[in-house]
Chains A and B, each alone.
Chain A
Amino acid sequence: MTDRAQYTPGPASGAEVRKDGEQWTLILVRELRHSPDKVWQALTDPAHLREWAPFDANGRMDLAGATVTLTTVAAPRPHVTEATVMRADPPRLLEYNWGDHHLRWELEALAGGTRLTLWTNIGRRFIAMGAAGWHICFDVLDHLLSGSPIGRIVGGEAMKFGWQRLNAEYARQFGIETPERPPQTNQHS
Protein backbone atom coordinates (compact mmCIF):
# COMPACT_ATOMS: atom_id res chain seq x y z
CA MET A 1 0.00 0.00 0.00
CA THR A 2 2.98 2.36 -0.25
CA ASP A 3 1.71 3.42 -3.68
CA ARG A 4 -1.47 4.59 -2.01
CA ALA A 5 0.42 6.53 0.66
CA GLN A 6 2.44 8.27 -2.05
CA TYR A 7 -0.53 9.05 -4.29
CA THR A 8 -1.26 12.73 -4.94
CA PRO A 9 -3.55 13.80 -7.77
CA GLY A 10 -2.12 16.03 -10.49
CA PRO A 11 -3.62 19.42 -11.34
CA ALA A 12 -7.23 19.72 -12.44
CA SER A 13 -7.42 18.99 -16.15
CA GLY A 14 -9.44 17.26 -18.84
CA ALA A 15 -12.80 18.58 -17.70
CA GLU A 16 -15.32 20.90 -19.28
CA VAL A 17 -18.88 21.89 -18.47
CA ARG A 18 -21.92 22.63 -20.57
CA LYS A 19 -24.23 25.06 -18.86
CA ASP A 20 -27.99 24.99 -19.14
CA GLY A 21 -29.60 26.96 -16.30
CA GLU A 22 -28.91 25.24 -12.97
CA GLN A 23 -28.47 21.84 -14.58
CA TRP A 24 -25.00 21.48 -15.98
CA THR A 25 -23.25 18.64 -17.75
CA LEU A 26 -19.79 17.60 -16.70
CA ILE A 27 -17.57 16.14 -19.40
CA LEU A 28 -14.39 14.40 -18.29
CA VAL A 29 -11.78 13.05 -20.64
CA ARG A 30 -8.94 10.75 -19.60
CA GLU A 31 -6.44 9.00 -21.80
CA LEU A 32 -5.45 5.59 -20.52
CA ARG A 33 -2.60 3.40 -21.72
CA HIS A 34 -4.84 0.35 -21.81
CA SER A 35 -7.03 -1.23 -24.46
CA PRO A 36 -10.74 -0.42 -24.76
CA ASP A 37 -11.56 -4.04 -23.85
CA LYS A 38 -9.70 -3.72 -20.58
CA VAL A 39 -11.27 -0.36 -19.79
CA TRP A 40 -14.71 -1.73 -20.68
CA GLN A 41 -14.29 -4.54 -18.18
CA ALA A 42 -13.31 -2.06 -15.46
CA LEU A 43 -16.49 -0.07 -16.20
CA THR A 44 -18.91 -2.97 -16.21
CA ASP A 45 -17.65 -5.79 -13.98
CA PRO A 46 -18.70 -5.40 -10.32
CA ALA A 47 -15.41 -6.89 -9.09
CA HIS A 48 -13.49 -4.22 -11.02
CA LEU A 49 -15.85 -1.38 -10.11
CA ARG A 50 -15.29 -2.21 -6.46
CA GLU A 51 -11.62 -1.30 -6.91
CA TRP A 52 -12.16 2.25 -8.15
CA ALA A 53 -15.78 3.45 -8.59
CA PRO A 54 -17.76 5.60 -6.13
CA PHE A 55 -20.48 2.93 -6.00
CA ASP A 56 -20.83 -0.83 -5.75
CA ALA A 57 -22.90 -2.67 -8.34
CA ASN A 58 -24.63 -5.96 -7.56
CA GLY A 59 -24.41 -7.23 -11.12
CA ARG A 60 -22.76 -6.83 -14.49
CA MET A 61 -23.46 -3.58 -16.30
CA ASP A 62 -22.67 -4.63 -19.87
CA LEU A 63 -26.15 -5.64 -21.06
CA ALA A 64 -28.67 -3.07 -22.27
CA GLY A 65 -31.88 -3.37 -20.28
CA ALA A 66 -30.22 -4.86 -17.21
CA THR A 67 -31.21 -3.41 -13.86
CA VAL A 68 -28.49 -3.22 -11.26
CA THR A 69 -28.54 -2.00 -7.67
CA LEU A 70 -25.91 0.69 -7.06
CA THR A 71 -24.82 1.45 -3.52
CA THR A 72 -22.98 4.72 -2.98
CA VAL A 73 -19.80 3.92 -1.10
CA ALA A 74 -18.99 5.82 2.09
CA ALA A 75 -22.06 8.07 2.03
CA PRO A 76 -22.93 9.40 5.51
CA ARG A 77 -26.04 7.23 5.44
CA PRO A 78 -26.83 4.26 3.24
CA HIS A 79 -27.76 5.34 -0.27
CA VAL A 80 -29.02 2.66 -2.64
CA THR A 81 -30.55 3.22 -6.08
CA GLU A 82 -31.78 1.04 -8.92
CA ALA A 83 -29.94 1.64 -12.16
CA THR A 84 -30.97 0.64 -15.66
CA VAL A 85 -28.38 0.09 -18.35
CA MET A 86 -29.73 2.04 -21.30
CA ARG A 87 -27.00 1.36 -23.83
CA ALA A 88 -24.17 -1.13 -23.83
CA ASP A 89 -22.13 -1.35 -27.00
CA PRO A 90 -18.87 -3.05 -25.98
CA PRO A 91 -16.23 -1.76 -25.94
CA ARG A 92 -17.38 1.67 -27.13
CA LEU A 93 -20.45 3.07 -25.41
CA LEU A 94 -22.15 2.57 -22.05
CA GLU A 95 -25.08 4.50 -20.58
CA TYR A 96 -26.92 4.03 -17.31
CA ASN A 97 -28.45 6.09 -14.54
CA TRP A 98 -27.05 6.48 -11.03
CA GLY A 99 -30.03 7.87 -9.15
CA ASP A 100 -31.02 10.97 -11.07
CA HIS A 101 -27.57 11.22 -12.66
CA HIS A 102 -27.27 9.99 -16.20
CA LEU A 103 -23.82 8.58 -16.99
CA ARG A 104 -22.62 8.14 -20.55
CA TRP A 105 -19.21 6.59 -21.10
CA GLU A 106 -17.48 6.62 -24.45
CA LEU A 107 -14.34 4.63 -25.20
CA GLU A 108 -12.25 5.53 -28.23
CA ALA A 109 -9.31 3.40 -29.28
CA LEU A 110 -6.05 5.33 -29.46
CA ALA A 111 -2.66 4.10 -30.53
CA GLY A 112 -1.71 2.06 -27.49
CA GLY A 113 -4.68 3.00 -25.37
CA THR A 114 -8.14 4.41 -24.88
CA ARG A 115 -9.61 7.85 -24.66
CA LEU A 116 -12.32 7.57 -22.02
CA THR A 117 -15.00 10.27 -21.91
CA LEU A 118 -17.68 10.55 -19.24
CA TRP A 119 -20.72 12.81 -19.62
CA THR A 120 -22.89 13.28 -16.56
CA ASN A 121 -25.57 15.78 -15.59
CA ILE A 122 -24.87 17.46 -12.28
CA GLY A 123 -26.14 20.57 -10.50
CA ARG A 124 -24.08 23.74 -10.84
CA ARG A 125 -23.40 23.77 -7.10
CA PHE A 126 -21.83 20.31 -7.11
CA ILE A 127 -20.09 20.16 -10.44
CA ALA A 128 -16.58 20.97 -9.14
CA MET A 129 -17.00 18.39 -6.37
CA GLY A 130 -18.02 15.83 -8.97
CA ALA A 131 -15.06 16.64 -11.18
CA ALA A 132 -12.67 16.35 -8.22
CA GLY A 133 -14.16 13.02 -7.14
CA TRP A 134 -14.06 11.48 -10.61
CA HIS A 135 -10.52 12.81 -11.16
CA ILE A 136 -9.32 10.78 -8.18
CA CYS A 137 -11.40 7.77 -9.23
CA PHE A 138 -9.82 7.86 -12.70
CA ASP A 139 -6.34 8.00 -11.18
CA VAL A 140 -7.21 4.95 -9.08
CA LEU A 141 -8.62 3.26 -12.20
CA ASP A 142 -5.37 3.92 -14.05
CA HIS A 143 -3.38 2.29 -11.23
CA LEU A 144 -5.76 -0.67 -11.27
CA LEU A 145 -5.43 -1.18 -15.02
CA SER A 146 -1.66 -0.92 -14.75
CA GLY A 147 -1.64 -3.84 -12.35
CA SER A 148 -0.65 -1.80 -9.31
CA PRO A 149 -3.99 -1.12 -7.57
CA ILE A 150 -3.91 1.42 -4.76
CA GLY A 151 -7.44 0.79 -3.51
CA ARG A 152 -10.60 2.82 -3.92
CA ILE A 153 -10.51 6.46 -2.73
CA VAL A 154 -14.05 7.82 -2.38
CA GLY A 155 -16.20 9.75 0.09
CA GLY A 156 -14.41 11.26 3.09
CA GLU A 157 -11.29 9.25 2.27
CA ALA A 158 -10.72 11.52 -0.76
CA MET A 159 -10.18 14.44 1.66
CA LYS A 160 -6.86 12.85 2.64
CA PHE A 161 -5.73 12.82 -1.00
CA GLY A 162 -6.04 16.37 -2.25
CA TRP A 163 -9.76 16.45 -3.03
CA GLN A 164 -10.19 19.97 -1.62
CA ARG A 165 -7.45 21.36 -3.86
CA LEU A 166 -8.97 19.71 -6.93
CA ASN A 167 -12.43 20.97 -5.97
CA ALA A 168 -11.09 24.54 -5.74
CA GLU A 169 -9.13 24.19 -9.02
CA TYR A 170 -12.12 22.84 -10.94
CA ALA A 171 -14.39 25.50 -9.42
CA ARG A 172 -12.01 28.16 -10.77
CA GLN A 173 -11.87 26.50 -14.19
CA PHE A 174 -15.67 26.32 -14.35
CA GLY A 175 -16.14 29.89 -13.18
CA ILE A 176 -17.78 29.00 -9.88
CA GLU A 177 -16.75 31.61 -7.34
CA THR A 178 -17.20 29.86 -4.01
CA PRO A 179 -17.04 26.11 -4.00
CA GLU A 180 -19.14 24.51 -1.30
CA ARG A 181 -16.94 23.08 1.37
CA PRO A 182 -17.33 19.72 3.06
CA PRO A 183 -18.81 19.77 6.56
CA GLN A 184 -15.45 19.20 8.28
CA THR A 185 -14.36 22.70 7.28
CA ASN A 186 -17.80 24.23 7.42
CA GLN A 187 -18.19 24.71 11.15
CA HIS A 188 -18.85 28.44 11.17
CA SER A 189 -20.64 29.25 7.96
Chain B
Amino acid sequence: MKIKLTSVYVSDQDKALRFYTEFLGFAKKADFSQGPFRWLTVASPEEPDGAQLQLALNDNPAAKAYQEAIYQQGQPAVMFFTEDVRGDYERIKAHGAEFTMPPTDVTGSTIAKLNDTCGNLVQLTQLARW
Protein backbone atom coordinates (compact mmCIF):
# COMPACT_ATOMS: atom_id res chain seq x y z
CA MET B 1 0.00 0.00 0.00
CA LYS B 2 1.39 3.38 -0.99
CA ILE B 3 0.30 6.99 -0.72
CA LYS B 4 0.36 8.11 -4.34
CA LEU B 5 -2.45 10.62 -4.57
CA THR B 6 -4.34 13.17 -2.56
CA SER B 7 -7.15 15.44 -3.67
CA VAL B 8 -8.13 19.03 -3.23
CA TYR B 9 -11.54 20.34 -4.22
CA VAL B 10 -11.41 23.37 -6.49
CA SER B 11 -14.15 25.68 -7.74
CA ASP B 12 -12.72 25.83 -11.28
CA GLN B 13 -10.33 23.24 -12.72
CA ASP B 14 -8.76 25.45 -15.42
CA LYS B 15 -8.12 28.22 -12.94
CA ALA B 16 -6.73 25.70 -10.45
CA LEU B 17 -4.42 24.22 -13.07
CA ARG B 18 -3.00 27.70 -13.70
CA PHE B 19 -2.46 28.34 -9.99
CA TYR B 20 -0.87 24.98 -9.20
CA THR B 21 1.41 25.04 -12.26
CA GLU B 22 2.21 28.71 -12.93
CA PHE B 23 2.22 29.94 -9.34
CA LEU B 24 3.37 26.90 -7.36
CA GLY B 25 5.45 25.33 -10.15
CA PHE B 26 3.90 21.86 -10.32
CA ALA B 27 3.49 20.06 -13.65
CA LYS B 28 0.33 18.61 -15.15
CA LYS B 29 0.40 14.83 -14.80
CA ALA B 30 -2.95 13.46 -15.99
CA ASP B 31 -5.87 15.15 -17.67
CA PHE B 32 -8.72 13.18 -19.17
CA SER B 33 -12.46 13.33 -19.13
CA GLN B 34 -15.48 11.09 -19.21
CA GLY B 35 -18.44 13.26 -20.08
CA PRO B 36 -18.50 16.13 -17.60
CA PHE B 37 -16.15 14.32 -15.24
CA ARG B 38 -12.52 15.49 -15.54
CA TRP B 39 -9.64 13.68 -13.88
CA LEU B 40 -6.88 16.26 -13.49
CA THR B 41 -3.71 15.80 -11.49
CA VAL B 42 -0.40 17.59 -11.01
CA ALA B 43 2.92 16.41 -9.61
CA SER B 44 6.10 18.05 -8.47
CA PRO B 45 8.79 18.36 -11.19
CA GLU B 46 11.27 17.48 -8.43
CA GLU B 47 9.45 14.18 -8.01
CA PRO B 48 7.54 13.47 -11.25
CA ASP B 49 6.62 9.93 -10.24
CA GLY B 50 5.90 10.93 -6.67
CA ALA B 51 2.53 11.64 -5.14
CA GLN B 52 -0.04 13.32 -7.37
CA LEU B 53 -2.45 16.02 -6.35
CA GLN B 54 -5.87 15.66 -7.89
CA LEU B 55 -7.62 18.95 -8.66
CA ALA B 56 -11.21 17.79 -8.22
CA LEU B 57 -14.11 19.97 -9.35
CA ASN B 58 -16.15 20.85 -6.31
CA ASP B 59 -19.66 20.17 -7.51
CA ASN B 60 -20.53 18.37 -4.29
CA PRO B 61 -22.63 20.36 -1.78
CA ALA B 62 -21.19 18.48 1.22
CA ALA B 63 -17.64 19.20 0.09
CA LYS B 64 -18.51 22.86 -0.57
CA ALA B 65 -19.78 23.31 2.99
CA TYR B 66 -16.64 21.67 4.39
CA GLN B 67 -14.34 23.67 2.13
CA GLU B 68 -15.93 27.00 3.07
CA ALA B 69 -15.90 26.22 6.78
CA ILE B 70 -12.25 25.26 6.97
CA TYR B 71 -11.30 28.20 4.75
CA GLN B 72 -13.10 30.56 7.15
CA GLN B 73 -11.18 29.00 10.04
CA GLY B 74 -7.89 29.65 8.25
CA GLN B 75 -7.20 25.93 7.93
CA PRO B 76 -5.19 24.83 4.91
CA ALA B 77 -6.86 22.31 2.62
CA VAL B 78 -3.49 20.96 1.51
CA MET B 79 0.15 21.28 2.58
CA PHE B 80 3.38 21.10 0.59
CA PHE B 81 6.94 20.76 1.83
CA THR B 82 9.75 22.97 0.64
CA GLU B 83 13.43 23.46 1.36
CA ASP B 84 13.13 27.24 1.14
CA VAL B 85 9.83 28.68 2.29
CA ARG B 86 11.11 32.29 2.26
CA GLY B 87 12.41 31.98 -1.29
CA ASP B 88 9.13 30.40 -2.43
CA TYR B 89 7.17 33.12 -0.66
CA GLU B 90 9.06 35.90 -2.47
CA ARG B 91 8.81 34.17 -5.85
CA ILE B 92 5.11 33.30 -5.62
CA LYS B 93 4.17 36.69 -4.11
CA ALA B 94 6.02 38.48 -6.91
CA HIS B 95 3.87 36.45 -9.32
CA GLY B 96 0.78 38.01 -7.76
CA ALA B 97 -0.50 35.38 -5.29
CA GLU B 98 -2.27 36.45 -2.13
CA PHE B 99 -0.58 35.19 1.06
CA THR B 100 -2.72 35.12 4.18
CA MET B 101 0.33 34.35 6.34
CA PRO B 102 3.92 35.33 5.52
CA PRO B 103 6.70 32.90 6.50
CA THR B 104 6.21 32.36 10.22
CA ASP B 105 8.28 30.28 12.65
CA VAL B 106 6.17 27.73 14.49
CA THR B 107 7.08 24.61 16.46
CA GLY B 108 9.42 22.54 14.35
CA SER B 109 8.89 24.43 11.09
CA THR B 110 8.39 27.67 9.23
CA ILE B 111 5.06 27.97 7.47
CA ALA B 112 3.32 30.31 5.07
CA LYS B 113 -0.24 30.24 3.78
CA LEU B 114 -1.70 31.48 0.54
CA ASN B 115 -5.00 31.54 -1.27
CA ASP B 116 -5.25 29.17 -4.25
CA THR B 117 -8.05 31.33 -5.83
CA CYS B 118 -10.24 28.21 -6.03
CA GLY B 119 -11.61 28.09 -2.50
CA ASN B 120 -8.61 26.85 -0.52
CA LEU B 121 -5.72 27.89 1.61
CA VAL B 122 -2.46 26.18 0.78
CA GLN B 123 0.25 25.84 3.39
CA LEU B 124 3.94 25.78 2.51
CA THR B 125 6.03 24.11 5.20
CA GLN B 126 9.78 24.07 5.72
CA LEU B 127 10.82 21.70 8.47
CA ALA B 128 13.37 23.09 10.93
CA ARG B 129 16.70 21.28 10.99
CA TRP B 130 18.24 20.57 14.34
| 7 cross-chain pairs, A with B, having the tightest CB-CB distances, nearest first | A99-B36, A183-B30, A126-B33, A79-B37, A101-B36, A75-B37, A72-B37
The answer to whether the Cβ of A54 comes within 8 Å of any Cβ in the partner chain is yes
Partner of A72, one of B30, B32, B34, B56: B34
The answer to whether A105 has its CB under 8 Å from any CB of chain B is no
| Choice from B7, B34, B48 contacting A154 with Cβ under 8 Å | B34
For chain B, residues 44 to 80, give those with C-beta under 8 angstroms from any C-beta of chain A. Answer: 48-49, 56, 59
Decide: A99 and B35 in contact? CB cutoff 8 A: yes
Which A residues from 151 to 188 make CB contacts under 8 A with B?
154-155, 180-183, 186-188
Q: What does the 1/0 interface line of A101-132 toward B look like (CB < 8 Å)?
A: 10000000000000000000011011001100
Q: Closest Cβ of chain B: how far from A21's Cβ, in Å? A: 13
Q: How many residues of A contact B (CB 8 A)?
A: 30
Query: How distant is the Cα of A154 from the Cα of B35 in the complex, in angstroms?
Result: 11
Query: Quick one: closest A residue to B31, CB to CB?
Result: A180
Which of A99, A187, A189 contacts B37, CB < 8 Å? A99
| Contact of A98 with B36 at beta-carbon distance under 8 Å, contacts A180-B31, A183-B30 already known | yes
A99 CB contacts on chain B under 8 angstroms: 35-37, 59
Q: How far is the CB of A24 from chain B (nearest CB, A)?
A: 13
In the docked arrangement, what's the CA distance between A155 and B39, Å? 12
Whether A125 contacts B31 in the complex (CB less than 8 A), given A81-B59, A99-B59, A187-B49, comes out as yes
Is the CB of B38 closer than 8 A to any CB of chain A? Answer: yes
A100 lies within 8 A of chain B by Cβ: yes
Q: Which B residues between 1 and 56 are near A, CB-CB below 8 angstroms?
A: 7, 29-39, 41, 48-49, 56
Contact call B38/A126, Cβ cutoff below 8 A: yes
- Judge whether B36 and A155 touch: CB under 8 Å: no
Q: Is the interface of B mostly helix, strand, loop or mixed?
A: strand
User: B33 to chain A: which residues have CB within 8 Å?
Assistant: 122-123, 126, 129-130
Further 15 A-B residue pairs, CB within 8 A, beyond A99-B35, A186-B29: A55-B35, A72-B34, A74-B34, A77-B7, A98-B36, A99-B37, A101-B36, A126-B32, A133-B34, A133-B35, A182-B30, A183-B30, A183-B32, A183-B41, A189-B29
The answer to whether A147 has its CB under 8 Å from any CB of chain B is no
Which of chain A's residues have a CB closer than 8 A to the CB of B30?
182-183, 186
Interface: A10 (CB within 8 A): no
Alpha-carbon gap, A125 to B28, bound state (A): 14
* B35 adjacent to A98 (CB under 8 Å): yes
Using a CB-CB cutoff of 8 Å, which residues 69-106 of chain A contact chain B? 72, 74-77, 79, 81, 98-101
Whether A54 and B29, one on each chain, are in contact in the complex, defined by CB atoms closer than 8 angstroms, is: no
Of chain A, the residue at the smallest CB distance from B13 is A123
User: For the complex, what is the distance from the CA of A119 to the CA of B38, rounded to whole Å?
Assistant: 19
The smallest beta-carbon distance between A35 and chain B, in angstroms, is 27
Q: How far is the CA of A183 from the CA of B7 in the complex (A)?
A: 16
Contact status B32-A100, CB under 8 Å: no
